[in-house]
Amino acid sequence: MQQSSRVLALFDFDGTLTIQDSLPAFIQFVVGKPRYWMGLIYCSPTLLGYLLGWIDNNSAKEKLLAYFFKDMKLADLQAQGVQFSHKIIPKMTRPGGFERLNWHLKQGHQVVIVSASADIWLKPWVDTLGADLISTQLENFNGILTGKYHGKNCHGEEKVTRIGVQYPLDQFDEIYAYGDSSGDKPMLALAHHAFYKPFR
């Protein structure tokens, strides 16, 4: 009897499966719109530096996360993440992307969401799908968030590194990848079937 082929399907999350970036939406969900906008004003030099190419994506994002979440209890933010994943993420998903993801799952493929967003708000949603998650994690010390990453931001080449560690690519007969930004292009380059902005 011939062994069935093994297929790996890699999906970026923000912008690929969703109509908007989940990080600003999650921050607003946790702190409310007034504090969110005040925080953007405070962080505006960093954000402007990022837009002008003076500050890299990793540093800009960490600055934003530190401003809003440093010194929060991890358990409290995780509880907010569960609520966000149930109430907000379903409203953000692109129908075409969600259908394609479910098609891969029904085919029995290994489906992995690979995202620079944090597991705090992504993992509860991904778990309901029966998919796997590779994402950025937030550092904590004794249950208190430090405002830094645990490890590296899961962006660009870091996506490729993390995928290779968890899923040896030579074990798969076919690899699909879906992304929508320059940060996804290293991941797309891994695939036999690569799709850039496929659900718009």
Angle between helices 22-31 and 119-129 in degrees, nearest 10: 110
- State the average pLDDT for the chain: 93
> How far, in Å, CA of 67 to CA of 27, rounded?
11
Q: The tokens of 197 are what?
A: 């902005």
pLDDT at 100: 97
Task: Give the count of alpha carbons within 13 A of 1, CB side only.
Answer: 2
pLDDT score at 101: 97
List, for residues 67-107, the tens digit of each pLDDT value: 999 999 999 999 999 999 999 999 999 999 999 999 999 99
Torsion over CA: 178, 183, 189, 191 (sign):
negative
Q: What is the pLDDT of residue 3?
A: 41
CATH C-level class of 7-196: alpha beta
